Structure 1
Amino acid sequence: MWTNFTKLFPGKVLKDQMWKCAKSTTLPYFAKEMEEMKALDNEAHKWMAHKDRPPQHWCRAHFETWSKCDIMINNLCESFNSFIFDARAKPPVSMFEEMRVKLMKRNQIRKDKMQAMVGNLCPKPRKVLEKNKMKAASDCISIGNGGDQVEVETFEGTKNVVNLTARTCTCRMWDLSGVPCKHAVSAIYHNRADPENFVADCYLKKTYLNIYSNLIKPVNGMEMWTRSEEPPILPPQHVTDIFHQKISKLQM
């Protein structure tokens, strides 16, 4: 979406505003940023608000919170595509074998690396949490109500309500990412608790190791494989061959 947008509406100002709209985590902020876009370029606003581009597909304010992931770009699949790039050009059996070996090596490297880590959290969530701790210390003031809800005010004058039992914040960053935002960290410290205990289970070291406990087993070389009675796997037809077949049928 960003690529198509920049082709039609070039310039850093519009690009930055488009990302502000996409990164809005609440509906009021999303509406505010869309109004800013409208003031900058009405045609750009119409393009983003078109029915073919529903915000449920590109704006955090409309994302569900069950996945605990606020990623908006497809770098993950692009990285995996690059990882298997050389194998894709090979015949089917050789392709699958190279992918299997690559994944087997990768799983061992990931598992060994995580086992060497100190602490209960994975490195990247810990880094995000440490940043939010610094922001909470310098920017947030918490006011409790004697229960599980805490009102957090920032020096900018904004206020957000944190529910420690439900693990939610009205800014929705904690809900979306699974890592306590600065408001949540401030509220957690106000209740004399440890923010690390409020990080989503998917970011725990034990969860990561549990995922990589399902090992890919080694396989003997092809010369030791049992002969199959099934027909051999053939490569897919070339596009031009399929096209000529369709032409021939039409001519008949």
Structure 2
Amino acid sequence: MLLSAVERDPNEQMYPLAWAVVEGENNNSWQWFISELKKCVPHNNGKEWIVISNEHQSILRAVQLELPKAEHRYCARHIYANWNKSFKGEEMKLLFLRCVKAYNLADFEEAISEMEDVTPVAVDAFKKCGPHLFCRSFVKIEEKCDVMEEALMKWKGLLCPKVQKTLDSEKEEVAKCTVIPSTSTRFQVVHYMDVLEVDIENRICTCRKWDLRGIPCCHGVASIFYLHKEVESYVDQCYTKEAYLRAYEGNINPCIGERHWPKN
């Protein structure tokens, strides 16, 4: 059985951390794997870590024992695979995703209400899965979690390309926002029929997109533009080109063929 651990790099791509071949996916194997992983990366018992996995009991046990301070979330795709067995169809899939992807509780409750109008039983099954473990609206905001190295070396921007693209899409929404200042750092922003509060000093917004991603939402961008400031400087440092290059400054040792392995 192949066990692996991956993370997201500053350009929102998957980055391999460690892998190992074990006799099977059981308690001993997962605990050994995570204990070895701890030797390779700073961990502080999981503080400031976010672990995302399926609901395999051996993984849950190993994380609890080896990284007790980590925030452990479930993979929504695995939750959906089980939930979908009883509630099929494209409409139910879209309702499920709307609940999962909602950034704040207001949007989450609206999505749940819409699902309940279609099939109340589906809502009961959804809630039994533990939405606080796999829905975005319940995620803690402290940690920001939504190219080849040579290509990034040539990149001239401050931010990684995918992050810059995400920020540019938020800039396009600014024309639909009306900004009303409260103080030099706090603003009321009207966006369509919604009214939100933005605090650019603490980098938060009622919609929670900025809080969770570390990338200003359109409401934050509108407020920053109101002050004639540079939006890119308000993006979390973890998304910078410098942070990306640091992530890849190490190397993976070459592997020689079996013919050259030491003989017992």
Please, what TM-score do these two structures have when normalized by structure 1? 0.68
The corresponding residue for 1:140 is 177
Partner residue, 1:35: 113
CA RMSD of superposed structures (Å): 2.1
| Higher share of residues assigned strand | 2
Q: CA deviation at 1:216?
A: 3.6
Counterpart mapping for 1:196-207 below 5 A: 196-207=232-243
Q: Which has the larger radius of gyration?
A: 1
The equivalent of 2:141 in structure 1 is 65
Q: Which moved more, 1:208-217 or 1:16-25?
A: 208-217
Secondary structure class of the residue paired with 2:173: helix
Bigger fraction of residues in helix: 1
Provide closer, same or farther for how the CA distance between residues 150 and 220 of structure 1 changes in structure 2, counting only shifts above 3 A.
same
Consecutive unaligned residues in structure 1, runs of 5 or more: 71-108, 233-252
**Alignment partners' CA distance in 2, 1:212 and 1:25:** 30
1:149-208 Cα deviation digits (max 9, x unpaired): 111101x22111111111111100011111111101001101111110011111100110
Describe the shift of the 1:9–1:224 C-alpha distance in structure 2 as closer, same or farther (beyond 3 A): closer
Tell me the matched-pair count: 186
Equivalent residue, structure 2, for 1:125: 163
For 1:182 and 1:23, locate their aligned partners in 2 and report how far apart those are by CA, in whole Å: 17
Equivalence for 1:46: 124
Q: Which of 27-36 and 55-64 deviates more?
A: 27-36
Q: Give the aligned partner of residue 79 of structure 1.
A: none
Q: What's the CA shift string for 1:76-106, capped at 9, x where partnerless? A: xxxxxxxxxxxxxxxxxxxxxxxxxxxxxxx
Amino acid at match of 2:178: I
Show the counterpart of 1:18: 96
1:153 alignment counterpart: 190
Secondary structure of residue in 1 paired with 2:197: strand
Q: CA deviation at 1:65?
A: 1.4
Alignment of 1:1-252 (within 5 A): 1-50=79-128, 53-70=129-146, 110-137=148-175, 139-154=176-191, 156-217=192-253
The structure showing larger relative contact order (alpha-carbon pairs under 8 Å, at least 6 residues apart) is 1
Q: Structure 2 vs 1, CA of residues 184 and 224 (structure 1 numbering), >3 Å: closer, same or farther?
A: same
Cα displacement string for residues 198-231 of structure 1 (whole angstroms, at most 9, x for unaligned residues) = 1111110011011111234557777877x69xxx
